[in-house]
Structure 1
Amino acid sequence: MYVNQVFSEEECDRILASLDEDKWEEAMVGGIAGKGVFSVQKDYRSNYQQTVPVANDGFPLNRIGQEISTANSSLWRFDLDGFAEDDLPWVMNYCRVGDHNNWHVDVGQAATASRKLGFSLQLTDGTEYEGGDLAFHRIRKERGELTRKGTLVVFPAFWLHKVAPMIAGHRKSVVGWVHGPSFR
């Protein structure tokens, strides 16, 4: 797993300020209703999402892509193509008590089949909420290491992970995937 504080608090605030409060939609899951079909399944996942606003200069995706390339070069050396037009990153908003994302992997069918690396960028600091933590199966990390505002966590898309139920406060993060040729 790659963990690094990549964005400053001011840069995270810039991303948060670019969000449109009218664009939040219920988050969906794939693979339950059928191949390539995404649907709201609150037993599996409960939170809001909206696409990441990208500035004319490519911010914040250009910086995320560069950091993921660095991480991949030193840790996994996967063949990567970059972000996919039909599977762009999202801002996730865990704002209700109980909002969560059960155990899952990020690689699957259709648009998700070529996901190689997943990432999560903390936009809010872990002191602003209780619960809602990103966790990986059989991998222990200190909460503070993963919840600092501006921290980017990168991991193989086939790793089992979850977001624990929210207890209090609000957690926002950018999540997405870098794609590449099929694993062989």
Structure 2
Amino acid sequence: MLEVHSIPGAFTARECEQIVAASQKAPANEALLVGQNKDHNLRRADVTWLDDVDGSDWVMSRLINLVRRSNTSKFDFDLREFAESPQIACYKASDGGHFAWHSDIGDGPVARKRKLSMVVQLSKPGMYDGGDLEIMPGAYAVTASRHQGSATIFPSFLLHQVTPVENGDRYSLTVWAHGPAFR
């Protein structure tokens, strides 16, 4: 079975709150999907790119370190770069926030080079209902930790979803580590 790796306490609660607050000051975009089409049946979320958030260099440094350590201990993939800005997503119950089953490897030259995906839980678990990150490493789905500041790392080709948020808002931070395309 493929592995899903969890890192509790990758970020402190205060750091998570700082990231969310800073992201709310940056421009948000409705999430665009394959071919830049808005497909609300697949995903409904507001997205802010970390590159657009002032003073966020420390966040990227932490993400790189977490991915490197996890890759060394669990995956041993050929990673070469972080070719995309990390994404801060807000899934709102009021908008029907969700992300249906998908993998992070898709069309386009960058997506085909995604090797590892990491999702950091930015919200406190009691701030929303629903909105579980579920990953399919084998016959059964694994539900990621909802503890604020925990990171979940998995191969980008694994199917995963965010179930519909039923109440409140769910914030998460996602980054992808890149390398030569899988064969």
Give the aligned partner of residue 7 of structure 2.
4
Q: Give 1:17 shift.
A: 2.0
Q: Normalising to structure 2: TM-score of the pair?
A: 0.88
Q: Which runs of 4+ in 1 moved over 2 A?
A: 53-56
**Percentage of identical aligned residues:** 30
Q: Does 1:90 align with 2:87?
A: yes
Alpha-carbon contact 2:119-2:175 (below 8 Å) kept: yes
In 1, the alpha carbon distance for the partners of 2:115 and 2:65 equals 15
The alignment yields a C-alpha RMSD, in angstroms, of 1.6
Give the aligned partner of residue 139 of structure 1.
141
In 2, the alpha carbon distance for the partners of 1:23 and 1:55 equals 15
State how 1:71-86 maps to structure 2 within 5 Å.
Answer: 71-84=70-83
1:18-49, Cα deviation, whole Å (9 max, x unpaired)? 1244612111211xxxxxx2211001111111
Give the aligned partner of residue 99 of structure 1.
97
State how 1:8-157 maps to structure 2 within 5 Å.
Answer: 8-21=12-25, 23-30=27-34, 37-52=35-50, 53=53, 55=55, 58-84=57-83, 87-97=84-94, 98-110=96-108, 111-137=110-136, 138-141=140-143, 146-157=145-156
- Aligned pairs, number: 172
User: Which runs of 5 or more residues in structure 1 are unaligned?
Assistant: 31-36
Alpha-carbon contact 1:120-1:153 (below 8 Å) kept: yes
Letter of the 1:140 counterpart: V
User: Which runs of 5 or more residues in structure 2 are unaligned?
Assistant: none
Letter of the 1:62 counterpart: S
Q: Normalising to structure 1: TM-score of the pair?
A: 0.87
Q: Give 1:172 shift.
A: 0.4
Alpha-carbon contact 2:82-2:176 (below 8 Å) kept: yes
